[in-house]
């Protein structure tokens, strides 16, 4: 099996189920296992650009949601990466530390706290009705922002689960800053 159970929690396997292509294009995505199905990559990359550039949420809001999701899914690579446009937009390591814990840390601005609450709800209990969360989201986010948040969560959650399910994750990785692949 690709995971081990430890008191009800799973751990990510460092044994790859799929080997990456023998390419060195310098593109993190093309050189990953996703590069084994190259006909899908242009669509993946187009969606990546649309998530980051075409929606109403700011890059730091997007990155906040992406990192909270990475923490839930246990994607070591996703946890290590910081997108340069989010850092330029004001994302700090202090904020990353606050959202990397399972609880919601005191002192987060309301909008960022709501992003964390939405991600937690999305990952842990998306079918559960949370009237308070809905009311708060409606007060702080436009309908377009809420749709963007849900779409980017589907995207990030799906691809981080894909990366984890393919195995080969190291136990840890250093923090790295990358650009949106174009």
How far from chain centre, in Å, is Cα 23? Answer: 25
Strand partners, 5: 10
The answer to whether 132 and 126 have CB atoms below 8 angstroms apart is: no
Query: For the CA atoms of 98, 150, 82, 94, what is the dihedral angle to 10 degrees?
Result: -10
Its CATH class, for the domain covering 46-178, is mainly alpha
Which residues, given as ranges, of the chain have pLDDT below 70? 1-14, 102-105
What's the pLDDT score for residue 102?
67
What's the pLDDT score for residue 169?
76
Q: Residue 40 burial (CB < 10 Å; 0-12/13-18/19+)?
A: exposed
pLDDT, tens digit, 9 for 90 and up, residues 120-167: 999 999 999 999 999 999 999 999 999 999 999 999 999 999 888 887
What's the pLDDT score for residue 114?
95
What's the pLDDT score for residue 29?
77
């Amino acid at each position: 099996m690709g995971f081990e159970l430890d008191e009800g929690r799973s751990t990510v396997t460092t044994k790859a189920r799929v080997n990456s292509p023998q390419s060195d294009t310098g593109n993190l995505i093309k050189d990953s296992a996703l590069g084994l199905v190259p006909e899908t990559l242009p669509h993946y990359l187009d969606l990546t650009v649309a998530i980051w550039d075409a929606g109403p949420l700011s890059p730091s809001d997007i990155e906040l949601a992406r990192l909270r999701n990475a923490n839930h899914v246990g994607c070591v690579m996703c946890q290590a990466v910081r997108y340069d446009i989010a850092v330029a937009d004001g994302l700090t390591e202090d904020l990353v530390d606050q959202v990397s814990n399972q609880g919601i840390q005191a002192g987060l601005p309301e909008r960022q706290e709501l992003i964390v609450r939405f991600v937690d709800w999305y990952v842990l209990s998306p079918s559960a009705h949370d009237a308070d969360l809905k009311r708060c989201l409606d007060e702080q986010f436009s309908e377009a922002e809420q749709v963007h948040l849900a779409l980017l969560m589907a995207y990030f959650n799906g691809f981080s689960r894909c990366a984890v399910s393919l195995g080969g994750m190291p136990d840890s990785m250093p923090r790295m800053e990358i650009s949106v692949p174009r």
